[in-house]
Chain A
Amino acid sequence: MANLKIGLAGNPNVGKTTLFNNLTGLNQHVGNWPGKTVEKAEGHYNYNNNRVDVIDLPGNYALSAHSIEEIVSRDFIVDEDSDVIVNIIDASNLERNLYLTVQMMELGANLVVALNMNKFAQDKGYTIDAKKLSDLLGVPVVEIEANSKIGKDQLLKTIEEAAKNPVNTVNRLSYGPELFDHLNELQTAIEEDKNLGDVPSRWIAIKLLEDDEIILDRIEDSSKRNNILNTTEKVKKHFKDIYNESSEEVIANARYAYIEGLLKEVLTKPATEKKTLTDKIDSIVTNRLLGFPIFLIIMYLMFQITFTVAAPFQDMIDEGFGILGEMVAAALGDGMLTSFIVDGIIGGVGGVLVFLPQIILLFLIISFLEDSGYLARAAFVMDKVMHSLVGLHGKAFIPMILGFGCGIPGIMATRTMENEKDRLITMLIVPFMSCTARMPVYLLLVGAFFAAADQTNVIFSLYVLGIVVAIIVAFILRKTLFDDMDAPFVMELPDYKLPTLRGILMHTAEKSWGFVRKAGTIILAAAIIVWILSSFPAGVEYGSQESAIGMIGTAVAPVFAPLGFGSWQPAVALIFGLVAKEVVVGTFSSLFGVAEEGAGIAAAMHGIFTPLTAYVFMVFVLLYIPCFAALGTIKQETGGWKWPLIMSVTTLITAYVVAFIVYMVGLALGFG
């Protein structure tokens, strides 16, 4: 029984996480856009009495240090003692993928190459001689399909063998005598310092010629610093003289030349590139004329489908809770306990859970978009808008769209942005995207105040408002705190893939379960507190203005009076909604009860809102302070409370100002 450790490395979007899930049985998220995985994930499997720890890494193109997630991978590959690095390669994109392979060989990594996406390579008309590739590279090559069993046994066996008989791949490379002679000169200088012996001197030499900052820092501490740096300069100058190129380019050229030589023997391509399915889809989806309208239509359909398809299911759950409430009331009679169960728990938690169908559907659609490859196209189409309006990337659009599901994965996804300021701005505007937690609030109020035909459009307008406000806030941040240009926009456009049913269902189930769990914990706790505050001091009528909750609400309500909703109930709902926005609904439904005849809540709402003020209230809920979980994620990602605090203050002010403007405009237009 031995313990092995393997890392899964490779370019972005080649199927590393898919393979990780396949090997470990875990469910890390996959997505068809480069940069989905931003953190290492760990799991394990057992094979022949060996426990094999598997680490899934973020994708990278090179072993330089381009963005945070790339550094994570580099550190793992360079510094950790793994037994085997499994290099997953996209067979339809061999040349570029091998560029990373070659760099890992410079490091002497004990590699196993897993050739994935072979079907896509066939579609392009490529034939690959895997055996030849293995011979030439001197490392095992296994053909796999990461999302199925194909090649899995072979891969597991090969990994085990490779762990037993490690090969040092450094010596397999040949970059030509000219480059090697000078590398050797530099290597000799490096080898004089024994402290640098933990990685191959060849690698350090190459990194020095590439001006790699992390390695330069290390050399600063070396006893042989001067000699090493002088030799580096000498070699650099020599290359400049003979090639008229920087050393970095000379090395990149040498790597690609090596790969090209290799591929001459390994890869046969058709004489003319075949038009792939992706080309055909893209001729419509990113078409000059159609691209932009298609983007808007997809966004609109996403919400239209969510609301219309889910509505009947919502009614069913709603009725179910109504019946449950009546049964409890009938069984227990009038009293404190009945009130606690019916008003407190069924009202507070059930009132939120009825919106589960909408939430499941929206997550389903977002997973589909994410897994199909469309998100990268959305970034491509929207880049110009984002760039000229707020100096952000099209890539910033991916976190924003994910934010429609939940802000937390959206905030995490900002890690793919190379520039720290771009990343912060995007992180700060993602919470303005209307996440699924706001949906119950909209659905409750829209159902009570707007005609069926208008409901979807009213909700859609809130989503649009969220985007508009996000863009305005980004613009202001760019002009004030982050006065700078955005980083250059470089993004690979992956091939479209038909998402697997399993992948999408797992992803959706996990997110939806998160919502149910929240209902059973935070929302339940809030419901209980609301019930207690509504029932005391002893003797007051439940949920009346004289109850504790009524008194709190009455004290705060004047703040909201200028926005048109000055009653005490909306005020307490907003206070409790700080925890999580669904609690706004939970609070209303426990205050107004579910077991009441007919449209109990809706009727009660008419006493405190008009259609206009209900809309203003929704605007406020949309924009005000993000939930605790989102603030926590921002704290974790920025390393302190500074940004979550700034965020809370700015969102509160934004919410108040925008809600006020909407109210005034609404009044002026005669909607009062």
Chain B
Amino acid sequence: MIKTLNELKTGEEGTLVSYQGGDVELRRHLLGMGFVKGATIKLEKVAPLGDPLELKVKGYAVCLRKEEAKFIKVEV
């Protein structure tokens, strides 16, 4: 099933299938940080106030807001 990153449940993981839309600069930056096609991304946790998300990708933790996470689609 295809979901966007912000729809993942805590602890759920998926494989990145597409990242389209959103800020170009950001996409470039995230590409470098490992958000490439085929990468496994896990939603580690949601911040206490509901945003941002803590994600595990390529073995490290990075945070990202929901409004940006919704451009990233993963296959779970």
Instruction: Identify the A interface with B (CB < 8 A).
Output: 61-62, 64, 66, 92-96, 99-100, 124, 210, 245, 248-249, 252-253, 256, 273, 282, 286-292, 380-381, 383-385, 387, 394, 418, 487-493
What 1/0 flags go to B6-49 for Cβ under 8 Å of A? 00000000000001001101101111111011110000011111
Instruction: Identify the B interface with A (CB < 8 A).
Output: 19, 22-23, 25-26, 28-34, 36-39, 45-52, 54, 58-65, 67-68
> A291 and B32: CB pair below 8 A?
no
Using A92-B59, A96-B33 as known contacts, say yes or no to A489 and B48 having CB atoms under 8 A apart: no
> B54 and A286: CB pair below 8 A?
yes
Other CB < 8 Å A-B pairs besides A273-B59, A381-B47, 8 of them?
A64-B28, A288-B46, A290-B48, A380-B52, A387-B65, A488-B23, A489-B65, A490-B33
Report the nearest A residue to B34, measured CB to CB: A96
Name B48's contact: one of A99, A381, A493 (CB within 8 Å). Answer: A381
18 A-B pairs in the complex with CB atoms less than 8 angstroms apart: A62-B29, A66-B28, A93-B58, A253-B36, A253-B38, A282-B45, A380-B52, A381-B47, A381-B48, A383-B63, A384-B49, A384-B52, A387-B51, A489-B65, A489-B68, A490-B33, A491-B62, A493-B54
Name A96's contact: one of B26, B47, B58, B67 (CB within 8 Å). Answer: B58
> B63 and A252: CB pair below 8 A?
no
> A291 and B36: CB pair below 8 A?
no
Q: How far is the CB of B29 from chain A (nearest CB, A)?
A: 5
Report the nearest B residue to A103, measured CB to CB: B32
Measured in the bound complex, the distance between the Cα atoms of B37 and A75 in whole Å is: 29
- Measured between beta carbons, the chain B residues less than 8 angstroms from A64 are 28-29, 32
Report the nearest B residue to A245, measured CB to CB: B37
Using A245-B37, A491-B62 as known contacts, say yes or no to A394 and B52 having CB atoms under 8 A apart: yes
Name A286's contact: one of B45, B50, B62 (CB within 8 Å). Answer: B45
> B65 and A488: CB pair below 8 A?
yes
Q: How far is the CB of A78 from chain B (nearest CB, A)?
A: 16
- Measured between beta carbons, the chain A residues less than 8 angstroms from B63 are 380, 383, 394, 489-491, 493
Q: How far is the CB of A141 from chain B (nearest CB, A)?
A: 19
> B34 and A383: CB pair below 8 A?
no
Report the nearest A residue to B64, measured CB to CB: A490
Using A96-B34, A245-B37, A249-B37 as known contacts, say yes or no to A492 and B29 having CB atoms under 8 A apart: no
> A289 and B48: CB pair below 8 A?
yes
Q: How far is the CB of B72 from chain A (nearest CB, A)?
A: 12
- Measured between beta carbons, the chain B residues less than 8 angstroms from A290 are 48
Measured in the bound complex, the distance between the Cα atoms of B60 and A490 in whole Å is: 13
> B59 and A383: CB pair below 8 A?
no
Q: How far is the CB of B58 from chain A (nearest CB, A)?
A: 5
> B49 and A292: CB pair below 8 A?
yes
Measured in the bound complex, the distance between the Cα atoms of B53 and A210 in whole Å is: 28
> B51 and A490: CB pair below 8 A?
no
Measured in the bound complex, the distance between the Cα atoms of B54 and A291 in whole Å is: 13
Measured in the bound complex, the distance between the Cα atoms of B45 and A202 in whole Å is: 41
> A286 and B36: CB pair below 8 A?
no
Using A253-B36, A256-B36, A384-B52 as known contacts, say yes or no to A248 and B31 having CB atoms under 8 A apart: yes
- Measured between beta carbons, the chain B residues less than 8 angstroms from A256 are 34, 36, 38-39
> B34 and A287: CB pair below 8 A?
no
Measured in the bound complex, the distance between the Cα atoms of B30 and A96 in whole Å is: 11
Name B65's contact: one of A273, A286, A383 (CB within 8 Å). Answer: A383
> A384 and B29: CB pair below 8 A?
no
- Measured between beta carbons, the chain A residues less than 8 angstroms from B64 are 488-490
- Measured between beta carbons, the chain B residues less than 8 angstroms from A66 are 25, 28-29
> A291 and B47: CB pair below 8 A?
yes
- Measured between beta carbons, the chain A residues less than 8 angstroms from B30 are 490
- Measured between beta carbons, the chain A residues less than 8 angstroms from B28 are 62, 64, 66, 210, 248
Q: How far is the CB of B54 from chain A (nearest CB, A)?
A: 6
- Measured between beta carbons, the chain B residues less than 8 angstroms from A253 are 36-38
- Measured between beta carbons, the chain B residues less than 8 angstroms from A99 are 32, 34
Q: How far is the CB of A309 from chain B (nearest CB, A)?
A: 30
| Best-surrounded residue of B29, B31, B58 (most CB of chain A within 10 A) | B31
Measured in the bound complex, the distance between the Cα atoms of B36 and A612 in whole Å is: 60
Measured in the bound complex, the distance between the Cα atoms of B32 and A286 in whole Å is: 26
Measured in the bound complex, the distance between the Cα atoms of B32 and A100 in whole Å is: 8
Using A96-B34, A488-B65, A490-B63 as known contacts, say yes or no to A384 and B50 having CB atoms under 8 A apart: yes
> A418 and B25: CB pair below 8 A?
yes
- Measured between beta carbons, the chain B residues less than 8 angstroms from A95 are 34, 58-59
- Measured between beta carbons, the chain A residues less than 8 angstroms from B45 are 282, 286, 288
Measured in the bound complex, the distance between the Cα atoms of B62 and A491 in whole Å is: 6
